[in-house]
Amino acid sequence: MNGMLLRLDDSALLDVSERASGVARPWRELIVLAAACGTPVADLATLPIGQRDRLLLELRARTFGDRLDCEASCLACGAHLELALSAAELCEPAAPAPATDFDVLVDGERITLRLPDSTDIAASAQEPDRAGAMLFDRCIAREQPDGAQPLGPWAREALAARLAALDPMADLQLDLRCPACDHTWQASFDPAGFLLREIEAYAAGLLDDVHLLGRAYGWRETDILAMSPMRRHQYRERVLA
């Protein structure tokens, strides 16, 4: 990625929400990321998932702040949990893996691993019944593909674990504990999905503001969106008083 990651202002958020609406994932998050850095979606689609999600978390912090307010339910007692995550902590830098780490010897055969990217996610989504297996198969290159014996369950599990270790941000797991019953478990966190939901909700609020203030004062959308959120809130309170 060559472009600089920029904060999305209210006008850009409304625009990107409209352009991403109705688009299937993972292309929706790539449209958002492209709007913030100016890099074509096709180029962003080849980024490893962990690198893409790291950029989305950085974008989220620049646009909405570092704190991410989340909710969860205890798997044991059903208690409601409110979580406050940090975007910066979630994307703490990790040392890049040496190139040699992507070559793995399994049962005497050398297999080269490739970190999954958004094109792999999109392709595997076309076959939901075997999405996991398809994603795995796209990310390995066998030394002798023709006539080679199929990989056994142990080999596939070992290679999948190696892929996860090479790109831990591709599947973020949160360690949770219920304060009510002390049950502990792990839950997946999807940075892209979280940001997309936030943008959708924020854009809906912007449209409400434009509609309300435009009807009350006759202002143009561009003028309303150019205001700070606090200024819009103050005008909205006066209209609704």
pLDDT in tens, 5-62: 899 999 999 999 999 998 999 999 999 999 999 999 999 999 999 999 999 999 999 9
* Residue 181, both tokens: 């019953």
What value does the mean pLDDT of the chain take? 92
Is 82 found in the same domain as 111?
A: no
Is 80 found in the same domain as 112?
A: no
Mean pLDDT of 145-164: 85
Say if residue 230's pLDDT is above 90: yes
Question: What confidence tens digit (pLDDT) does each residue in 61-110 have?
Answer: 999 999 999 999 999 999 999 999 999 999 876 667 776 789 988 888 88
Higher pLDDT, residue 105 or 206: 206
The per-residue pLDDT for 93 is: 67
Is 138 found in the same domain as 230?
A: no
Do residues 140 and 114 make contact, with C-beta atoms less than 8 angstroms apart?
A: yes
Residue 112 — very low, low, confident or very high, per pLDDT cuts 50/70/90? very high
- Residue that terminates a domain, selected from 122, 147, 172: 172
Is 140 found in the same domain as 183?
A: no
Is 167 found in the same domain as 180?
A: no
Question: What confidence tens digit (pLDDT) does each residue in 156-203 have?
Answer: 999 999 999 999 999 999 999 999 999 999 999 999 999 999 999 999
Query: Lowest mean pLDDT: which of 18-22, 99-103, 212-216, 217-221?
Result: 99-103
Is 208 found in the same domain as 157?
A: no
Residue 5 falls within a domain, yes or no?
A: no
Which among 214, 221, 213 is positioned nearest to 239, based on CA atoms?
213
Is 121 found in the same domain as 28?
A: no
Do residues 55 and 70 make contact, with C-beta atoms less than 8 angstroms apart?
A: no
The per-residue pLDDT for 150 is: 83
Is 180 found in the same domain as 71?
A: yes
**Number of domains making up the chain:** 2
Residue 1 falls within a domain, yes or no?
A: no
The per-residue pLDDT for 143 is: 76
- Residue that terminates a domain, selected from 172, 198, 215: 172
Is 153 found in the same domain as 208?
A: no
The per-residue pLDDT for 181 is: 97
CA distance 236 to 216: 9
- Residue that terminates a domain, selected from 172, 206, 227: 172
Range of the domain at 194: 10-92+174-236
Give kind and range of the element (H or E) at residue 223: helix 221-226
pTM of the model: 0.92
The per-residue pLDDT for 106 is: 85
